[in-house]
Every structure is written in structure tokens, then in C-alpha cells.
């Protein structure tokens, strides 16, 4: 029996043959390049409905979106844009920049020199634009330029992501190309300014062809520059990494395009329902509104003069009357859809309360929705601050080094710079106080730690120490010196005293 079973197994093994699946290649044709990506982000930020309509109608693969769709002739609706993307970016920018408190360093001479450069270039105002454009475009770069006719100090110029190209080698930035357009004699020229480690060079393009720089009068004096290879007269800034275009920054709009589009569709349909839900008048022909001067019948208008013409009843004793009919508008359904997509648009970016949206419309009354959403604003803010804390010192050191090189000196070493940001004054600060207070009262946090946790970098060390002392005094907590042990006791006197006690 055993031999028979083994024979059957061997037969099955020789008959059953398992082959690996043949690998298949999957090809996905990307419908947009980097420039379309930047253009799309800029269109959403600008928020002009006619420009959105025109832009989306030219993008391949977007035919089913609301902004690319074309209504049937005679059934056109007003397409409405919420304006939400711009409000999100501007509000986050305000939160970050309003809390920027400048920089500090032990190198006072260098910092004083930077302050002159920053004042000359209005760097604080430029910083608002840097953060703003980087958030919705993805990245950008600063370049250091010199123009003795304008200033003896370095000139800082910001170029948004759609005006630069970034070249990487072995995962490191090798070159940043700054693009500037010029017009002459109804022709458009492109100046490409290549800035790499130790050099600056220029190329002027007429279409695909390189032409001499003196083709444009204001460029005739430009000449290539070489200097120390440890320095690049440019600095890239990005907050998030772009998963679609490696090496470039990601827009805060990434993953939100469809929800923005759907929110606009809901608003537009809601508005159209309101328009169509206006009272409709059924008017007999002999009662139709007419022009006072010509007597001609006024044509119906879907906005302010909507009516339907009916035949007049000419029978004896008949009464021609105007009938008014108004349909019900399903506002609750539109409202729920609006709230749902509004929540999706804000998720991961900003709290509704930060934008001034009534959170009661969104939150679950049994959950701490507002507090949790406010943390989203804090996380977004913190990510931007971390990027700026790394970027600003590089800009300062780069500007100081390039200034030294223009004066004929060798670039000095980088100086340590501390970028200061204050505490974000938001509803979450109240919840932070509540949390710290509970920890303090629970005996798991000291007064010193609670004060530092609340105020962080917004107050200096001396202020924090004074505040701690004031709180302790108000609470009746006093620090007493430990009793000291007298080290100068007379040991011989003690021995004599002991002997007297023993003899007695």
C-alpha cells in the first residue's frame, strides 16, 4: 500500500508543473509636466473663475472635472469659486510671519552687517512672499546680486519655483538656473542665469537659439564670474518634498485639487438652485410686462424678470390671472455636501476656526473637534518654521560670504545663527494652559518647566526666571538656605566637656 501511494505522489509531482507569472510592464502616461504643475497651483491661488475655466479646458485628462466641463448650450450655469485656497495660504503665512522675531548670534559684528543688508532689501517683507509662494507653488530660490548703481550692499532677489530650474548631481544641488524674460521689438527673450558652486554664467535665448547678451541693452555688461568653489550665490527653499517631481518642493495644494474642484461645483449648483427656485410667474399674454415707450413685450430673464407666457382666456366672464409658483430648494442636502467637502479641503492644513469658520457647523458636539483641528494649524506652522530655521541662516551666511568675495576677500566660516519665533496666539494656547495646569497640579511638572513649556522662545531666559520668581512669591513659596554645619568647632573643648560629664 505504501509503495502504491509513493508511486501516485511521484506521478502527481511529475504531472503538476507550476510556472512563475510572466512579469508585466505597466506604463502610466503623466498628463502634466513641472511647468503645468506650477501653473495649476498659481491658478488655484489666484482664484479667478474665468481663468480657472480657461486653464482647465486646455489640460489633457481633466475633461470630467467641474472647471473643465462645458455645459449644454442653453443650460449654462454660473461657475463660482470659493476663494478658499488663497485664504488658506494667506492665513498660514500671516501666522508664521507675524511670529518671526528676527535672528540673534554671538557674532555681533556679522549680525549688524546682516541687519544693514536686510534693511536695504526689506527682507522681512520679502520673507512673507517667500513663505507664501513656496506654500502654493512648492519651492523657490534667492540669489545674491550686485549693482553698484543701486547699492554697495548685496541685492537679494527672490524667484518663485516656476522661474527656476534645479540641477542635482549625486543627490546634491549642483546648479540653480534663474530665468528672466525680456521683451524687445515685439520679441520675447529668455535669460538663463546659471549659478553653481564657484561660478555665475549667463545665456540669452531667442526661442531655442542662443543669442549674444548685447541683444538686450541692459544685459550687455554681464560677464561670467568665478570665485571660491565652497560658495554658491543662491539658496533653494522648499517646505515639503515633491513625490511627483523628485528634488523639487511640494505645494500645500497637493492632493486637494479634486476636493477644491468639488467644493466649487457644490457651491455653483447651490447658487443655480437658488436662481431656479425663485418665484416663476405664469402670465397671460394680455398681461405680459411691456416697454413703456415702445409697447413691446419685455423678454424673460432668468435673473430678474423670469416668467412663463400663457394664452389669454378670451371667453366671456373669464378672469386672466397671474399665477406665482416657487419650488422648494433642498438646502439641507446642499449644505451637508458643502460641509463635507469643506472639511476635506481643510484636513491636514488648517483649523476652521483659524479661518473664521463657525466650527459648530463642522464639529461633533460629543467630540473635542475644535481642539484637534487647531493642532493641524500648529503642525502646519511648525513644519514651515523648521524649514525657515534652516533656510534663513543659510541665506544670511551666503549673503555675508558673497559680500566678502565682492570686496576681494576670502569667505569666512559660517556663523551660528538662532532664528527666533514667538508663541502662536491661538485658541490652542488656552488648551495648552489647561494641559500644563493639570500636569502642574498633578505633581508631574515643576513651575520652571511649566513656564518654559508655555512661553518657549517667545520670552528670554531672564524674563522666564523673573516670572518663576514672581509666581513663587505669590504662592508663598520661599527658598531657604540649607542650615550649614559649623566646621570651626573647638574639638578640644568638646573633649573636655565629655570628660567632665564622665567624672561627675
DSSP per-residue codes, 109-156: HHHHHHHHHHHHHTHHHHHHHHHHHHHHH-EEEEEEE--TTT-SSPEE
Written as nine digits, the cell of 98 is 507675524
The pLDDT value given to residue 288? 63
What residues contact 274, with CB distance under 8 A and at least 6 apart?
329
The pLDDT value given to residue 76? 79
Written as nine digits, the cell of 320 is 386672466
Separation of alpha carbons 276 and 471, rounded Å: 65
The pLDDT value given to residue 449? 79
* pLDDT digits 0-9 by tens, 84-137: 999 999 999 999 999 999 999 999 999 999 999 999 999 999 999 999 999 999
The pLDDT value given to residue 435? 67
Written as nine digits, the cell of 384 is 514651515
Q: Quick one: which of 303, 283, 299 has its CA closest to 291?
A: 299
194, 200 contact by CB (below 8 A): yes
Helix (H, G, I), strand (E, B) or coil at 210: strand
What residues contact 351, with CB distance under 8 A and at least 6 apart?
359, 370, 373, 374, 375, 376, 377
If you ran DSSP here, which 8-state letter would residue 221 be given?
T
Q: Which residues of 105-115 are buried (b: 16+ CB within 10 A; e: fewer)?
A: eebeebbebbe
* pLDDT digits 0-9 by tens, 162-172: 999 999 999 99
Q: Which residues of the chain have pLDDT under 70?
A: 1-17, 278-292, 295-327, 359-373, 424-435, 439-440, 443, 456-458, 478-504
Q: If 0-12 CB within 10 Å is exposed, 13-18 middle and 19+ buried, where does residue 271 land?
A: middle
Separation of alpha carbons 193 and 164, rounded Å: 9
Residue 467 sits at φ, ψ, to 5 deg, of -65, -40
Tell how far CA 395 is from the center of its chain: 20
Residue with cell 511521484: 10
Residue 449 sits at φ, ψ, to 5 deg, of -65, -40
156, 395 contact by CB (below 8 A): yes
The pLDDT value given to residue 491? 55
Q: Quick one: which of 324, 322, 240, 235 has its CA closest to 285?
A: 322
Element spanning 484, H or E:
none
167, 236 contact by CB (below 8 A): no
Q: If 0-12 CB within 10 Å is exposed, 13-18 middle and 19+ buried, where does residue 60 land?
A: exposed
The pLDDT value given to residue 309? 46
The pLDDT value given to residue 366? 42
Separation of alpha carbons 171 and 119, rounded Å: 35
If you ran DSSP here, which 8-state letter would residue 226 be given?
E
362, 342 contact by CB (below 8 A): yes
CA atoms within 13 A on the CB side of 427: 18
Sign of the C-alpha dihedral, residues 483, 488, 491, 497?
negative
Written as nine digits, the cell of 381 is 506652522
Amino acid at each position: 500500500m505504501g509503495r502504491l501511494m509513493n508511486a501516485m505522489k511521484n506521478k502527481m509531482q511529475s504531472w503538476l508543473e507550476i510556472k512563475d507569472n510572466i512579469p508585466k510592464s505597466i506604463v502610466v502616461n503623466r498628463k502634466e509636466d513641472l511647468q503645468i504643475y506650477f501653473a495649476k497651483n498659481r491658478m488655484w491661488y489666484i482664484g479667478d473663475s474665468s481663468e480657472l475655466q480657461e486653464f482647465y479646458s486646455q489640460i489633457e485628462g481633466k475633461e470630467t472635472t467641474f472647471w473643465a466641463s462645458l455645459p449644454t448650450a442653453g443650460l449654462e450655469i454660473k461657475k463660482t469659486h470659493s476663494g478658499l485656497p488663497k485664504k488658506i495660504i494667506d492665513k498660514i503665512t500671516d501666522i508664521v510671519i507675524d511670529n518671526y522675531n528676527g535672528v540673534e548670534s554671538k557674532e555681533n559684528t556679522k549680525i549688524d552687517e546682516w541687519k544693514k543688508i536686510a534693511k536695504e532689501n526689506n527682507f522681512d517683507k520679502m520673507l512673507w512672499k517667500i513663505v507664501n509662494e513656496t506654500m502654493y507653488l512648492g519651492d523657490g530660490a534667492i540669489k545674491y546680486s550686485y549693482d553698484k548703481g543701486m547699492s554697495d550692499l548685496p541685492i537679494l532677489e527672490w524667484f518663485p519655483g516656476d522661474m527656476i530650474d534645479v540641477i542635482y548631481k549625486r543627490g546634491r544641488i549642483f546648479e540653480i538656473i534663474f530665468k528672466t524674460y525680456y521683451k524687445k521689438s515685439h520679441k520675447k527673450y529668455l535669460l538663463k542665469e546659471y549659478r553653481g558652486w564657484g561660478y555665475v554664467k549667463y545665456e540669452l535665448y531667442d526661442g531655442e537659439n542662443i543669442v549674444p547678451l548685447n541683444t538686450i541693452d541692459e544685459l550687455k555688461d554681464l560677464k561670467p564670474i568665478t570665485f571660491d568653489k565652497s560658495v554658491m550665490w543662491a539658496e533653494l527653499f522648499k517646505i515639503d518634498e515633491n513625490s511627483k517631481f523628485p528634488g523639487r518642493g511640494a505645494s500645500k495644494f497637493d492632493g486637494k485639487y479634486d476636493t477644491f474642484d468639488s467644493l466649487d461645483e457644490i457651491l455653483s449648483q447651490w447658487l443655480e438652485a437658488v436662481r431656479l427656485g425663485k418665484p416663476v410667474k405664469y402670465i397671460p399674454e394680455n398681461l405680459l410686462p411691456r416697454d413703456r415707450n415702445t409697447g413691446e413685450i419685455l423678454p424673460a430673464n432668468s435673473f430678474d424678470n423670469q416668467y412663463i407666457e400663457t394664452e389669454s382666456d378670451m371667453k366671456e366672464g373669464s378672469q386672466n390671472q397671474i399665477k406665482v409658483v416657487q419650488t422648494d430648494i433642498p438646502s439641507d442636502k446642499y449644505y451637508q455636501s458643502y460641509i463635507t467637502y469643506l472639511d476635506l479641503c481643510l484636513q491636514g492644513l488648517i483649523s476652521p476656526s483659524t479661518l473664521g469658520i463657525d466650527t459648530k457647523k463642522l464639529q461633533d458636539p460629543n467630540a473635542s473637534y475644535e481642539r484637534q483641528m487647531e493642532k493641524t494649524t500648529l503642525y502646519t506652522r511648525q513644519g514651515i518654521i523648521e524649514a525657515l530655521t534652516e533656510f534663513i541662516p543659510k541665506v544670511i551666511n551666503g549673503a555675508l560670504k558673497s559680500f566678502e568675495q565682492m570686496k576681494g576677500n576670502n569667505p569666512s566660516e559660517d556663523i551660528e545663527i538662532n532664528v527666533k519665533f514667538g508663541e502662536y496666539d491661538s485658541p490652542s494656547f488656552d488648551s495648552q494652559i489647561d494641559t500644563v495646569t493639570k500636569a502642574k497640579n498633578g505633581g508631574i511638572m515643576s513651575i520652571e518647566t511649566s513656564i518654559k513649556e508655555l512661553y518657549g522662545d517667545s520670552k528670554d531666559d531672564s524674563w522666564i526666571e523673573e516670572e518663576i520668581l514672581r509666581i513663587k512669591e505669590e504662592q508663598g513659596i520661599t527658598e531657604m538656605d540649607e542650615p550649614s554645619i559649623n566646621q570651626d568647632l573647638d574639638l578640644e573643648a568638646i573633649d573636655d566637656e565629655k570628660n567632665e560629664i564622665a567624672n561627675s
